[in-house]
Chain A
Amino acid sequence: MKPVKLPLFMTDVTIKIAGQAGQGMQSISYLLGKLFTRGGYYVFTSQDIMSRIRGGHNFSQIRIRDAPVYCNSAKVNVLVALDEAALTLHKDELIKDGVIIFDKEKTKFDAPGLVLFPVPLEKLAKDYGKDKIMVNTVALGALVQLTGYPVDLLYNVLKDEFSAKGMEVVNRNIASARAGYDYARNNFRRECPCKIGLKPKEPKRMLISGSEVLGVAALCSGLKFYAGYPMSPSTPIMEYLALKAKDFNIVVEQAEDEISAINMVIGAAFTGVRAMTATSGGGFALMVEGLSLAGMTETPIVIVVSQRPGPATGFPTRTEQAELQFAISAGHGEFARIVFAPGTPEQAFQLMNKAFNLADKYQVPAIILTDQHFNDSYWTVDSLDLAQITIDRYDVSNKWLNQPAYTYKRYQLTESGISPRIYPGLRNQVIYADSDEHNEEGHITESAELRKKMVEKRLKRIESIRQELASCYVYPEDNQETMLVTFGSNFGVVKEAVDILNEKKFKIGMLHLSEIFPFPRESVMAQLGFSRKIFTVENNATGQLARLLTAETRIKVTDKILKYDGRPFSVEELVDRIEMII
């Protein structure tokens, strides 16, 4: 093996793998993520998928850095083209001296200024992997050779990932990777301009997707019941939980529709366990009636709403942040709710737990608002801190064991508006929960006086919840003349744009909202009070965050940086957009 010369500059490499649905782009980017994370790098991978199972054009992108990375870059260093369309569609995204690995037997292609590595991907896949589906693994082998990365690490990753499918699958993958690796070593004299060497020993880190972190956090928060109806991009959460159901003694039920799913979740929560569902905008629309039921019956539930572009079916496999106003106001009638919009795996881990705890404490529904970009992306994460996790149920069953028989009142009026909560089955007490307006026992009432008290009881907790929410996240810490206000999955891209612009001597900061509703008015007003210019950065067409910000704080937004083509911002695009209007 040739000695690898480590670049003097910081490693920041973007590899794009493109081809048809079914060719395994997601699988390569995941394996690359695992490979480089284990080698001490930080990666961020994202998926650009069409709504089809075979054919079409998909790509997966992985960015590899030696510092934490949370977003895409538009500057591609290496393109792995698994079909001809990939070459024509993406060659212009490559930097000067960018590298292309493609199938030389299927495509004739030349591009001045780019470095081409034609590999007979399909032939090697058939010869060594016994199936043309192995083209992705062949390409992986070639890529590892060209970048000068140790191939043994790749073999280990393949072993770990495929061992569950049996030794035969492992061996075919290793043979395919080796074929790609050997072909590159034996046939190319030209040095590959993109090198990623092995780093000195670094602490072990995790590679985790947004969906996985939501599932893990729910399990670690004591989730016992999940019901849902498959809908992109929320489905991987359900699949992850179903995989873990046996080991963690939880029930995962595929409901007949989202209406059933949320009512099941309410039924399970009423009966005493932590319960959750996940969906996207369209499914959430069907759940809205149930959301209101949770509000009225004061049943704590958690709903993950993973946004995708609407209206209606929209772009089923793409990303958007257009359900912010929907999430904070969905449901007939007036009731309290919590909405969290995490921007990183670490935030998601902590906020899922907080959502469950606050839902139980305040007996309200809690919504975790994510999107396709968040759910389907993988991150390298230093660690997820279990010490931060608590399970606080706030049930008073023990206290009620020895109370006089049949005296429990589900909706007892209290100072805080929160009534003590027990579960059905407790000896000599019964619970009446009702979606009609009710009295303290839970029986139907028509009383004007009671109605007023019950409305106030349900709404009083909004201010208490607001007090529980953390201050908004500001970066860098000192006040800036110009502030970019954003929420959810834009965390990483805005943060990096801020770094780039500050290096160019702009005085710019980010305010990121993850604990977004009830809106943290005071903290936002304190942070934005000194800013001369305020821009929101949002993946929607109407500036929903700007509207919310103004409605809650009366702060006027200078301008909105909006993106609504179904794709996430890249850092270069965002920097350009900011520079244009600043």
Chain B
Amino acid sequence: MGRLIDYESKDPIAWCPGCGNFGILEAVKLALADLNLEPYQVLIVSGIGQAAKLPHYLRCNTFNGLHGRTLPVTTAAKITNHKLTVIAVSGDGDAYGEGGNHFLHALRRNIDITYLVHNNQVYGLTKGQASPTSDLGFVTKTTPLGTISAPINPLALAIMMDAGFVARGFAGEIKHLTWLIKEGIQHKGFSLIDILQPCVSFNKVNTFKWYKYRIYKVNEDPKYDPTNQNLALKKSMEWGDRIPIGIIYRSNRKSYNEQLPVIKEMPLVEQKISTDKFKKLLEEFY
């Protein structure tokens, strides 16, 4: 096991005390250390939002880009250097709102990255507006009469698109979440880990207590088969009194990067430029 201390960052943390993000940060560090990854072997790409600050709070390569644009940057980074362990970090607004189109197409590509979505069902950085995953009737400053659009079900979307690895974690279950992140990183394909993350400042409904009472670990049931797409889809629809967490779906669909012949031998970034071919290229026009 790697040393946890190697992942410590000096950057002061700007999250609210008691925020669910602390548990997620802890789980990320534990997972990376458990997998014996050195900080320089890891790249975390994030967008904008409270979740997106995460990579600053540990030592690793970081690209903290634009709101919603996490996945395109992540995808290209993995294509360019597939030796790196590439992780994307978003919030629910970043991932499913502003970045919704990119999310759908990342599912299509099944690129081998791990996507951690801190899902607190509310906007934190902009101070408490409704999010694409807010429950119906959720009252915020921008939805004073309650949310009337149905929440996105990211797990169901991912399972329908046959994404590689689809899981749900809970920020209050650090050990379980660490296991999920490790499994997600090791899976060769797109790994979505939607993480229930209580927001102590702006979501007074979906609190730690609210989640704690409802969640159950789906993989504790030996009969649950995450490779069964229909079953997984049904499981992903469960929400309300009981909320499943764990590995909901797994598929062995080939990843995008595995299917790119150009990077079969070595990462794109390590390849020499084919200068010897330039002359022949120009001759084609004579």
- Give the B-binding residues of A (Cβ under 8 A): 204-208, 212, 216, 219-220, 222, 224-225, 227, 244-251, 253, 255-257, 259-261, 263-268, 270-273, 275, 289-290, 293, 297, 381, 383-384, 386, 389, 391, 406, 423-436, 441-444
Q: How far is the CA of A275 from the CA of B73 in the complex (A)?
A: 12
- B235 part of interface (Cβ distance < 8 Å): no
Q: Are B273 and A251 in contact (CB under 8 A)?
A: no
Contact B281 A255 (CB under 8 A): no
B285 close to A206 (CB less than 8 A): yes
**B16: interface (CB < 8 Å):** no
Docked complex: B183-198 residues within 8 A CB-CB of A: none
Mark out the residues of chain B between 60 and 110 whose CB falls within 8 Å of any chain A CB in the assembled complex.
60-66, 69, 71-77, 79-81, 83-84, 101-102, 104-105
> 4 smallest A-B Cβ distances: which pairs?
A267-B76, A267-B73, A263-B72, A271-B80
B38-71 CB mask vs A (1 if < 8 Å, else 0) is 1111010100100001011001111111100101
CA distance A220 to B285 in the complex (A): 15
- B62–A225 touching, CB < 8 Å: no
B76 touches A227 (CB 8 A): yes
Q: Give min CB distance, B269 to chain A, whole Å.
A: 4
For B55, the chain A residues whose CB sits under 8 A away are 432
B284 → chain A closest CB, angstroms:
9
- A264-B273 contact, Cβ under 8 Å, with A424-B43, A435-B64: no
Chain A residue nearest to B83 in the complex (CB): A425
25 A-B pairs with C-beta separation under 8 A:
A205-B286, A206-B285, A220-B278, A224-B268, A224-B273, A225-B268, A246-B262, A251-B263, A260-B105, A261-B72, A263-B76, A264-B75, A271-B81, A273-B268, A293-B66, A391-B273, A391-B275, A423-B81, A425-B40, A430-B60, A430-B62, A433-B62, A433-B63, A443-B11, A443-B56
Instruction: Indicate if B282 sits at the interface (CB-CB under 8 A).
Output: yes
Chain A residue at minimum C-beta to C-beta distance from B39: A430
How long is the Cα–Cα vector from A428 to B60 in the complex, in angstroms?
10
Cα–Cα distance between A220 and B284 once the two chains are bound (Å): 14
Which residues of the other chain, B, contact A222 by a CB distance below 8 angstroms? 273
8 Å CB contact of A257 from B45, B64, B77, B101: B101
Known: A224-B268, A224-B271, A430-B59. A264 touches B76 (CB 8 A): yes
Choose one: A273, A433, A434; the contact of B269 (CB below 8 Å): A273
Identify A204's interface contact among B39, B263, B281, B286, CB under 8 A: B286
Query: Is the Cβ of A259 less than 8 Å from the Cβ of B64?
Result: no
- Determine whether B261 belongs to the interface, using a CB cutoff of 8 Å to chain A: yes
Residues of B close to A293: CB separation below 8 A: 65-66, 69
Distance of A431 Cα from B39 Cα, bound (Å): 10
For A255, give the chain B residue with the smallest CB separation.
B72
User: A275 — nearest CB in chain B belongs to which residue?
Assistant: B76
Which interface class (under 10, 10 to 19, 20 to 34, 35 or more) fits B?
35 or more
Check if B5 is an interface residue, CB within 8 A of chain A: no
Chain A residue with the shortest CB-CB distance to B272 = A249
- Say yes or no: A444 contacts B101, CB within 8 Å: no
A256 engages B48 (CB within 8 Å): no
Interface pair B77/A267, CB less than 8 Å apart: yes
Contacts of B83 in A (CB 8 A): 425
Which residues of chain B have C-beta atoms less than 8 A from A220's C-beta?
Answer: 278, 281
Question: Given A205-B286, A256-B105: A430 and B79 within 8 A (CB)?
Answer: no
Contact B102 A206 (CB under 8 A): no
In the complex, chain B residues whose CB is within 8 Å of the CB of A428: 38, 40
Smallest distance from the beta carbon of A398 to chain B beta carbons, Å?
Answer: 14
- Interface presence of B141 (CB below 8 A): no
| B:12-54 near A, CB below 8 Å | 14, 38-41, 43, 45, 48, 53
State the Cβ distance, A431 to closest chain B Cβ, in Å.
5
Most B Cβ at <10 Å: residue of A248, A268, A272, A293:
A268
In the assembled complex, B145 has its CB within 8 A of some CB on chain A: no
A207: B residues at CB distance < 8 A:
285
Bound Cα distance from A432 to B38, whole angstroms: 16
B274 in the interface (beta carbon within 8 A): yes
Query: Are A225 and B79 in contact, CB atoms less than 8 angstroms apart?
Result: yes
The interface residues of chain A lying within 8 Å CB-to-CB of B104 are: 256
B1 at interface, CB cutoff 8 A: no
Bound CA span A224–B41, Å: 22
Give the distance in Å from the alpha carbon of A293 to the alpha carbon of B279 in the complex.
36
CA distance in complex: A245, B263 (Å): 12
What's the minimum C-beta distance from B199 to chain A, rounded to whole angstroms?
Answer: 20
Set of chain A residues within 8 Å of B269, measured between Cβ atoms = 224, 271-273, 423, 425
Kindly list chain A residues whose C-beta atoms are within 8 Å of the C-beta of B105: 255-256, 260
- Residue contact B268 to A260, C-beta cutoff 8 Å: no
Of the candidates A216, A267, A436, the one whose C-beta lies within 8 Å of that of B45 is A267
Which residue of chain B has the shortest Cβ distance to A265 in the bound complex?
Answer: B76
Cα-based distance from A176 to B104 in the complex (angstroms): 49
The distance in angstroms between the C-alpha atoms of A272 and B273, with both chains bound, is: 13
A249-B274, A444-B53 known; 11 other A-B pairs, CB under 8 Å?
Answer: A207-B285, A249-B271, A260-B72, A267-B77, A268-B76, A268-B268, A289-B66, A293-B65, A425-B41, A425-B84, A433-B64
**Contact across chains for A425 and B64 when beta carbons are under 8 A apart:** no
Would A431 and B61 count as touching, CB distance under 8 A? yes
Known: A273-B269, A293-B65. A248 touches B274 (CB 8 A): yes
Residue of A272, A406, A432 with highest tally of chain B CB at under 10 A: A432
Give chain A residues whose Cβ lies under 8 Å from the Cβ of B65: 263, 266, 293, 297, 435
Whole-angstrom distance between the Cβ of B62 and the nearest chain A Cβ: 4
| A261 / chain B contacts, CB cutoff of 8 Å | 72
In the complex, the answer to whether B76 meets A406 with C-beta atoms within 8 Å is no
Q: Is B277 an interface residue (CB 8 A)?
A: yes
* CA gap between A502 and B271 in the complex, in Å: 53
B69 in contact with A263 (CB, 8 Å): yes
| Smallest CB gap from B45: residue in A | A267
B42 to chain A: closest CB distance in Å? 8
Closest to A222 in B: B273
* Contact call A270/B73, Cβ cutoff below 8 A: yes
Given contacts A224-B268, A425-B61, A435-B66, contact A273 B262 (CB under 8 A): no
Complex Cα spacing A251 to B55, Å? 28
Nearest residue in A to B47 (C-beta to C-beta)?
A435
In angstroms, Cα B5 to Cα A406, docked, is: 13
Assuming the contacts A207-B285, A225-B268, asked whether A263 and B66 have C-beta atoms less than 8 A apart, the reply is yes
B79 near A253 with CB under 8 A, answer yes
Q: Which of B39, B64, B76 is close to A271, meaning CB atoms less than 8 Å apart?
A: B76
Residue of B nearest to A424 (CB): B61
Q: In the complex, what residue of chain A is closest to B266 when comparing beta carbons?
A: A249
Is the pair A406, B69 in contact by a Cβ cutoff of 8 Å? no
By a CB distance below 8 angstroms, the chain B residues around A255 are: 72, 105
